[in-house]
A and B are shown apart, each in its own frame.
Chain A
Amino acid sequence: MANAQYAQLRDWIDRWEAHLIEQRTYLTELDSAIGDGDHGTNMVRGLAAASARADAEVPEHVDDLFKAVGMAIVSSVGGASGPLYGTFFLRFGATAGHVRELDGADLAEALGAGASGVAQRGKPELGDKTMFDAMSPAVGAFAAAIARGETPSTAANSASVAAHAGREATAELVARKGRASYLGERSVGHIDPGATSTALLFQSLAEALA
């Protein structure tokens, strides 16, 4: 069974950045409908800072890489996405530890810790129409696949599928957290931008581990 290598995890972040750049306008459109129209801009700025920091610090282990990524995101994204994604990566790295590769169970545990960090920071419930509606099912699908004996690569595919399904399902939800919640019923019919960037995060993981 192929473990996830350091280089693949570094590639995960690069791929996420590429997807965010490509989808910047789309993310901004989604955010203009129910938020304040800056999610694409903020995420692209944050990932540029994360890559720059990872390039400058040249970390060699998973914990140092994701500490750099997490801190760069916390200190450059702002808004709610900064603390939430920052917390995700900080917890992911701290749980993964000072290693160069992760097996499926390690990766499942680190992803789970990241999602728990987001839950603590933002206190979302499933169905609140947030990034958690994509993240929680993705992390759950990953862990379930690993438990069935699948490889990290196929588990990441399941996680990506679950994240995209969770993202699409946010269209029918009434927002209960963040700026979209001010719209109440008027938020129905719009896909959540945070769930969209999270779906891209898990899609990128699947591509990086493929």
Chain B
Amino acid sequence: MKKLINAADDVLAESLAGFAAAHPELRVDHVNRIVYRGEPKPHGTVALLSGGGTGHEPLHAGFVGFGMLDAAVAGEVFTSPTPDQIMEATARVDTGAGVLHIVKNYTGDVMNFEMAAELGGSIPVETVVVADDVAVEDSTFTAGRRGTGVTVLLEKIVGAAAEQGRDLAEIGALARHIATSGRSMGMALTSGTLPAVGKPTFDLPETEMEIGVGIHGEPGRRRVPLASAREVAEMLVEPILADRSFAAAPTIVMLNGMGATPLIELYLMFGEVKSILDRAGVTIARSLVGDYITSLDMAGCSVTILEADNDTLALWDAPVATPALRWGM
């Protein structure tokens, strides 16, 4: 393992310390591992809270700030945060209008957020569970689809709606609408390595790649010989369009890096994805290319497509000021 760390057990605490040093405009609770906005929202505004295992940076802490999250709760690497952390953050961000919990659909995250909402007392909480990964069959025989790229788009769009002062019921409904309007599919060229484990989570030979991979180094559904970017783009976009036709309305498309793939390749991939979508009659109204929801040092990428109406696009364009997304301010 070659990593820029001091000791495997200290990675999370020391990374959070560095994050706090780099972003004095945010407030970091190092004991509970929660990142808050420096300036709380006005009284009576719905607050947005998300969280999950670390190792997906910039998600979620990188999306705390005006126009997106009010707080992000960090678990250990690839491990859900715990109910007491989530309860603490919920109590602190509530301004009297209630809190939206944004949860990615993983067994651990769902259970810990559920326990927090049950034990949390009197604060009204709405929960949205994001489950957008088409690589997983949505059936009673699995834990359901994984929450991946749509989470990033949802935090931006619903965050903007909360700044407008929409109430908790409207925010909850919008969040669920966005969660069900997007789909994602990912692939890996290499496995990531957990600092505490010290070796790659799975073994992927030089000549092969994993299609349908998740964001925790869990292997995908199919291992295939390495192919060209054009062919990989087909393997990612085709299952998405087979699951939902995006031809009816404009879309927001994200080409996301898994952590160890350079931007030069991500832009090349975006070009390939756009060609396929053009042929399929899908209109890209907005796009986002870069590392937004990663899997440590995994090489690879994912494609996310979200159907967007005028309200969604206006919320997407609204000002945002976070460490990882910043425009219009």
Contact = CB atoms under 8 A, between A and B. Distances in A.
A125 to B, nearest CB: 10
Contacts of A201: none
Interface residues of A, number: 32
A78 B76 contact: yes
Given A38-B78, A38-B197, A78-B82, A184 B218 contact: no
Contacts of B194: 36-38
A84 B53 contact: no
B217 A36 contact: yes
Nearest to B82: A75
B306 interface: no
A28 B197 CA distance: 8
A181 B80 contact: no
A83 B83 contact: yes
A77 interface: yes
A78 B302 CA distance: 26
B119 to A, nearest CB: 9
A39 B60 CA distance: 23
Interface residues of B, number: 38
A182 B197 contact: no
B112 A32 contact: no
Contacts of A77: 79, 82
Q: Is the interface of A mostly helix, strand, loop or mixed?
A: helix
Interface in A104-126: 121-122
Nearest to B85: A75
Contacts of B79: 38, 42, 77-79
B142 A181 contact: yes
B183 interface: no
A84 B82 CA distance: 12
Interface string B194-224: 1011000110000000000010111101000
Interface string B46-81: 000000010000000000000000000001111111
B106 to A, nearest CB: 7
A98 interface: no
Q: Which of A37, A80, A178 has the most CB of B within 10 A?
A: A37
Given A38-B78, A83-B112, A84-B111, A179 B196 contact: no
A83 B78 contact: no
Interface string B81-99: 1111100000000000000
List the 5 shortest-distance A-B pairs measured between CB atoms, nearest first.
A79-B108, A78-B79, A80-B108, A181-B142, A83-B111
21 contacts: A28-B197, A32-B197, A36-B78, A36-B218, A37-B217, A74-B84, A75-B83, A75-B85, A78-B80, A79-B75, A79-B80, A79-B108, A80-B107, A83-B112, A83-B114, A84-B111, A176-B142, A181-B141, A182-B136, A183-B219, A184-B142
Given A77-B79, A83-B112, A182-B146, 16 more contacts: A32-B197, A38-B78, A42-B76, A42-B79, A74-B115, A75-B82, A75-B84, A75-B85, A78-B81, A83-B83, A122-B107, A122-B111, A177-B143, A179-B214, A184-B142, A186-B219
Interface of B: 53, 75-85, 106-108, 111-112, 114-115, 135-137, 140-143, 146, 194, 196-197, 201-202, 214, 216-219, 221
